[in-house]
Structures are given as C-alpha cells and as structure tokens.
Amino acid sequence: MADPMAHNELPQKKKLYIETVGCQMNMLDSELVVAKLRNEGYELTLDIGQADTILYNTCSVRQHAEDKIYSALGRIKTIKQQKPEVSIGVLGCMAQKDQGQILKRAPHVDIVVGPGQLGRVSELLAKAKEDRAPQMAVSLARTGGSRDHVTESFAEYDPLREPAMRPTPHQAFVRIMMGCDKFCTYCIVPSVRGPEQSRPPDGIVEEARQLAEQGVKEITLLGQTVNSYKFKTPDGRTTRLSDLLERLHDIPGLVRIKFITSFPNDMTDDLLQAVRDLPKMSRYLHVPAQSGCDEILKRMKRLYTVALYDDMMARIHETIPGVAVSSDFIVGFCGETEKSFEKSIRLVERSRFKNSFIFKYSPRTGTKADDLYADDIPEGVKKRRNNDLLAVQNAICAEDNRPFVGRTVEILVEGPSKTAQRHASEGFGPIQMTGRTSCDRIVVYEGNARQAGELLPVTITEATPMTLFGEVMTTALVGIGA
C-alpha cells in the first residue's frame, strides 16, 4: 500500500486571505473568524494570488465601503476563472444587508455570512464545496425594535484568539455589547447587527484575564453604544460599565483600558468618576455628536439636544482633568441648511475635540431617513462642508498639540511606526517607534522594537496636528494630563 508520508510530506495547509473594512468591531470579528479557521488547518497569507480561500469582512455604514467590496469582488473574478477551487466569502454587515443580491452581482461568491453567523464560516465553506453551490447564512429580518433577530455569534467568550490578527501583540479588543437599539434614522447598524445585548460580566472579565496572561497590556472594550452597558444578574443586581471597569482594573498585567463608542445620553457621572479614579483608564472618550443643530439632531432621532451635549462636555471636563474627547459628525444630512451646518462648526469650536471623524451623509436603504427624507444636499456641498469642518478641527488639533512641546508624557509603546516597518529589513540601530498617551495622542520617537508593550516617559520635541514627536527620557519625571 502506498504510504502517503513516504516523502515526509506534511499535509499542505489551506491558505487564507482576509480583508477587513469598517470599524473595530469588524476587526475583532475577523480575528475570531481567523482564529477558528487556523484551528481547522488554515494559515494566513498576505498574497491573494496564493490563497485557497479569500474572505472579505464588510461594512455597510456608507455606500463607499460597499462600493469598495463590490469592485474587489469584480477584480478577483479572474482568480476564480483560473482557479475554480478557490473559495470566496463575503462576511459581515454587507452580507446581512444585501444577502442574495451579492450572489446576483457576483455569482463567483461561495459564501455570504452575516455578523450573527460568523461562527459557521468553516462549516459553510465545506458545504459550498460539497454541494457545489453557494451558501448563505444571515439573521432574520429585523423590524424596528423587534427582538426576533438572533445574534448569537461569538456571544460568549471564545478562547481561540488569534494574536497575529490583533492590532499589536499587546493590544486587544474585547466585545462587551452587541447590536444597537437606538435606531438613529440614518444608520443601518441596528438592522444588520441586531438588538442591543450586553455580555455577562464574568465572561468579559475572564476573557480579559486570559488576554492579560497572553501578554496583552491594553484592552479596548467595544460596543456601538458601549456606555449603555448594563447586565442584570438573576439576583436582581445590575452591573454598569463603571462596575465592570472596576473589575477589569484589578486584572494583573493590564496597564490600560479604553472603551468605544459612547452615546451622549448615557455618559453618567459614575462612569466619568470611574475614568477619573482608576489609574489604568485611558483619559479618552469617543462621544459622537453627529450635528450641532437641534432640528437636525431631531431628524436624526439622536435623542439629545445640543444643550445636553454641551452640558455633557462640561461635566466630562469638570470631572476628568486632562481628558481628551473625540467625536463623529455627519455633514449634508437631509435638510441641513448652511445655518444648521454652521452650528456644527460652532460645536466643534466650543468642544475642542482631540479629533473628529467627519462623514458625508450616505443614504442607506432600509433606514428611516431614507424612507422619510430626500437626500437633498448636493454632493459638492457635502464635500465642501466636510472640508470646512475638517479645517476647523485641524486648526484645533494644531493649537492643542502645540503646548505639549517640552512636556514629558507617558506613552504605551505600540510598535515600529509604519515607515519603520517598511525599512526594518534594511539594518539595525534605532528605529521610529509609535505609542499613545493616556489621552490617545499618537507619539513617535526613536527607539527599538523591544520597547513594544512598555510604558515609557517621552519628552515631546515637536508637534503636528495629528502627531507628537519626542525623545525617550528614562530618568525624567512623568507628568499627567497627556
């Protein structure tokens, strides 16, 4: 009988190529999918031409993100023609939103898997091969606020984490909530990611403890409205985000804890006090305002007024010295006049955000805004408002970064900067490293790769709007308020 191992050949591992677009939630989903597939004999490749399986983890928050995926699917059609054995998968939010449409537009796709079904990717890949037919796994349609949408994927702690897919070996995302119940009128997320559910705190703490044991120094807690976190145990006790932070803070090995993204109405005093009082907490909050105009906020169904947002900003700054806040804005939302847009400019000026993510309104089929209102702001006007708001924000970034020159701040080192990574093979000696202050400001300094994961004091020598540059001062005293 022929011995299959006669030439000492190990069975060839299947090669997996994965591209992820969208938010941190998607990055974490990809990490979990890859972990599971690695465990089943796949290995990662960065070369799409070498891959046996090509996966796209998609986003549907804006049209642009979807267009990118459809054009990538168009480009890889030739790969499938030349190598029909290659499997192609579309995962995540766009899979949930477009479902069978994807197979119509790109018949060479083998699997379509929504965010609630990602635990089934390997099973669906195998079934598509076996049946020689595309497979689709998506959650039930969700109508405004109903709870029939099952989103159980990876709900519980999945120990098969994939370090190579983490942002860096020392940083990890931890999902504490899934879905969203806010139903902002422009947003597709509640219908593709399902209802808001908070994870039991014990599972979260256990996951964070295991990550810390693997060498993770910083965890970022994820949720669409992360500060709405609430878990009621059968004995009637409620764990709030502030309670959870206290428990996570006790985990040895962790040095920094962040949470994103927050909803203005739920920025309670107990949470702000926890950020102030727990030394491992990053003094950074991401609280999207979306608009500075009450009429627009009402049309967006954001559930707060500009006055409430202003009051929240005042409470944040009163409670947490040296805190940095970032925000999101949508420009060109239906009915946004020049006057309403100017109110967004004023809000950015008053709030002095560390940074703002600014988006042009992109109508999404299936949302309230798309049903109720006309997308009446011309693309050129959206673009101009985007640039104008960005210019105001950039000026604030420049002004607020400048006073850092001469100060010594403590950073958590993330690793070689992008340019340093490219040049790493060219020689030894010091390289450009990056890290972040407690307030999430990016700092670049000359150091060495072994410093990744360390807390280091760095004296700032130069400031640009987005980046601080500095030198390591090993003996310097470290100031707070970075």
- Which residues contact ligand SF4 by CB under 6 A? 180, 182-184, 187, 189-190, 224-225, 263
Which x/- pattern, by CB under 6 A, does the window 54-73 give for ligand 5AD?
-------xx-----------
Q: Is 179 in the site for ligand 5AD (CB under 6 A)?
A: no
Cβ count near 402 (within 10 Å): 14
When the beta carbons of 96 and 459 are compared against ligand SF4, the nearer one is 96
User: DSSP labels for 315-374?
Assistant: HHHHHSTT-EEEEEEEES-TT--HHHHHHHHHHHHHHT-SEEEEEE----TTSHHHHHS-
By CB under 6 A, what part of segment 277-296 binds ligand 5AD?
288, 290
Q: Is 362 in the site for ligand 5AD (CB under 6 A)?
A: yes
Q: Are strands 455-463 and 14-20 parallel, antiparallel or unpaired?
A: unpaired
Kindly list the strands in the beta sheet with 355-360, ordered across the sheet, starting from the edge strand earlier in the chain.
284-286, 324-331, 355-360
Residue 62 interacting entry, from ligand SF4, ligand 5AD, none, C-beta within 5 to 8 Å by type: ligand 5AD
What is the closest distance, in whole angstroms, from the C-beta atom of residue 32 to ligand SF4 in the complex?
Answer: 20
Give CA–CA dist 429/427, Å, rounded.
7
Give CA–CA dist 389/408, Å, rounded.
31
Residue 469 interacting entry, from ligand SF4, ligand 5AD, none, C-beta within 5 to 8 Å by type: none
Residue 393 interacting entry, from ligand SF4, ligand 5AD, none, C-beta within 5 to 8 Å by type: none
User: According to CB under 6 A, which one of 17, 157, 186, 259 is a site residue for ligand 5AD?
Assistant: 186
CA geometry: angle 294, 259, 448, nearest 5 deg: 125
Q: Burial letters for 199-222: b for 16+ Cβ neighbours within 10 Å, e otherwise? A: bbbebbbebbbebbeeebbbbbbb
Q: Is 364 in the site for ligand 5AD (CB under 6 A)?
A: yes
Q: Which amino acid is at 32?
A: L
| Site residue total, ligand 5AD (CB under 6 A) | 12
Q: Is 469 in the site for ligand 5AD (CB under 6 A)?
A: no
User: According to CB under 6 A, which one of 43, 181, 311, 328 is a site residue for ligand 5AD?
Assistant: 328
When the beta carbons of 386 and 432 are compared against ligand 5AD, the nearer one is 386
Residue 417 interacting entry, from ligand SF4, ligand 5AD, none, C-beta within 5 to 8 Å by type: none
When the beta carbons of 187 and 275 are compared against ligand SF4, the nearer one is 187
What is the closest distance, in whole angstroms, from the C-beta atom of residue 224 to ligand SF4 in the complex?
Answer: 4
Q: Are 256 and 208 in contact (CB under 8 A)?
A: no
User: According to CB under 6 A, which one of 17, 263, 361, 469 is a site residue for ligand 5AD?
Assistant: 361
Give CA–CA dist 196/263, Å, rounded.
13
By CB under 6 A, what part of segment 68-97 binds ligand 5AD?
none
By CB under 6 A, what part of segment 105-134 binds ligand 5AD?
none
Q: Is 309 in the site for ligand 5AD (CB under 6 A)?
A: no
- Per CB under 6 A, the segment of 76-84, 149-157, 360-368, 409-417 that binds ligand 5AD is 360-368
Q: Are 172 and 218 in contact (CB under 8 A)?
A: yes
Q: Are 110 and 135 in contact (CB under 8 A)?
A: yes
- Per CB under 6 A, the segment of 120-128, 129-137, 361-369, 444-452 that binds ligand 5AD is 361-369
Q: Is 260 in the site for ligand 5AD (CB under 6 A)?
A: no
Residue 36 interacting entry, from ligand SF4, ligand 5AD, none, C-beta within 5 to 8 Å by type: none
CA dihedral 76, 78, 83, 84 (to 10 degrees): 80
What is the closest distance, in whole angstroms, from the C-beta atom of residue 325 to ligand SF4 in the complex?
Answer: 16
Q: Using omega within 30 degrees of 0 as the cis cutoff, is the peptide bond preceding 419 cis?
A: no
421 SS3 class: helix
Cβ count near 427 (within 10 Å): 7
When the beta carbons of 18 and 178 are compared against ligand SF4, the nearer one is 178
Q: Are strands 111-113 and 87-92 parallel, antiparallel or unpaired?
A: parallel
Give CA–CA dist 256/410, Å, rounded.
12
When the beta carbons of 157 and 173 are compared against ligand SF4, the nearer one is 173
Distance of CA 124 to the CA centre of its chain: 26
When the beta carbons of 93 and 136 are compared against ligand SF4, the nearer one is 93
Give CA–CA dist 315/269, Å, rounded.
8
Residues in contact with ligand 5AD by CB under 6 A are 61-62, 186-187, 288, 290, 328, 330, 359, 361-362, 364
